[in-house]
């Protein structure tokens, strides 16, 4: 038996199953890699929003990291909701010793506008986590939270990317989905520049989009793609998943992680 590529997600649990660790593992399964998880926080969450969250103790997060990386290892790592300063520091300390690609989804707020990162932890993400990132995948709100740059049109994307790159990641993927008009994402390492467009889909069931995209990028990196290739394929996957998004509960439903099977 051949072992598939190994991808580790370090993130929060979403009890509604549409985002977070649950979305990450579904994405990894759909793309043919073996997903593993380090749970940093537990949310009480459904289609209407986040009703509460509880961080795990740093020693529990550290033990999960040591357990997985010490025995199994990983070909790529993705980080999502890390919640607090001490958890960001704990994860950054471990990741500073790994040599595989790291995809950082700098989760600051949920789809419903609920805060998932303590305000005082933003500086730690900037100082400790982003310099370790192979790719960082902020949306426009997260760009502003991290850099102060407000993106109001496609012309602002490069300025936003340069501000993010100044914090130390190798590549920045600025997600322009919240801009008016046709959505454009900009990927750059400061030299090469790639723009990804997709049609705007008339579907409000988009819960888990950011987690899913970052996990797909990590999965394709583990499968041997370079960064632009991984992002291109991940974009194709998330576009199909958004198109297949379905209603759930009374609020915003999730993207369909298994759209290719259905």
Annotated active-site residue 211? The verdict is yes
20, 176, 208, 245: which is the annotated catalytic residue? 208
261: its two tokens: 């099977």
CA distance 105 to 176: 15
**Catalytic residue list contains 78:** no
Q: Is 175 a catalytic residue?
A: yes
Considering 206, 212, 235, 244, which one is annotated as catalytic?
206
Three-point CA angle 160, 179, 201, nearest 5°: 130
Q: Using CA atoms, how far apart are residues 181 and 160, in angstroms rounded to an integer?
A: 18
Q: Which residue of the set 134, 209, 212, 239 is catalytic?
A: 209
Catalytic residue among 111, 147, 188, 211: 211
Catalytic residue among 20, 80, 108, 210, which?
210
> Which one-letter DSSP state was computed for residue 207?
B
Instruction: Give the C-alpha separation, 187 to 175, whole Å.
Output: 9
How far is Cα of residue 92 from the mean position of the Cα atoms in its chain? 16
**What are the distances in angstroms from CA 258 to CA 12, 29, 182?**
21, 9, 25
The catalytically annotated residue of 78, 111, 126, 175 is 175
190: annotated active-site residue: no
Active site residue 251: no
Question: Cα torsion at 33, 138, 162, 149 (round to 10°)?
Answer: 180
Active site residue 9: no
Instruction: Catalogue the active-site residues.
Output: 175, 206, 208-211
């Amino acid at each position: 038996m051949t072992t598939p590529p190994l991808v580790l997600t370090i993130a929060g649990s979403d009890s509604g199953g549409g985002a977070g660790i649950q979305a990450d593992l579904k994405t990894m399964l759909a793309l043919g890699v073996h997903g593993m998880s380090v749970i940093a926080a537990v949310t009480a969450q459904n289609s209407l929003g986040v009703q509460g969250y509880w961080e795990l103790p740093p020693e529990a997060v550290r033990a999960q990291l040591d357990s997985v990386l010490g025995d199994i290892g990983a070909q790529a790592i993705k980080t999502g909701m890390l919640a607090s300063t001490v958890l960001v520091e704990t994860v950054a300390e471990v990741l500073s010793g790994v040599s595989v690609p790291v995809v950082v989804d700098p989760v600051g707020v949920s789809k419903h506008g609920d805060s998932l990162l303590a305000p005082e932890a933003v500086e730690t993400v900037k100082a400790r986590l982003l310099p370790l990132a192979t790719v960082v995948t902020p949306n426009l709100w997260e760009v502003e939270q991290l850099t102060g740059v407000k993106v109001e049109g496609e012309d602002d994307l490069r300025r936003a990317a340069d501000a993010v790159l100044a914090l130390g990641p190798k590549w920045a993927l600025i997600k322009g989905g919240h801009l008016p008009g046709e959505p454009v994402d900009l990927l750059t390492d400061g030299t090469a520049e790639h723009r990804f467009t997709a049609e705007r889909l008339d579907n409000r069931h988009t819960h888990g989009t950011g987690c899913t995209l970052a996990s797909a990028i990590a999965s394709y990196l583990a499968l041997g793609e370079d960064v632009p290739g991984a992002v291109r394929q991940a974009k194709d996957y998330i576009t199909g998943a958004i198109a297949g998004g379905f209603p759930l509960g009374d609020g915003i439903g999730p993207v369909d992680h298994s759209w290719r099977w259905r």
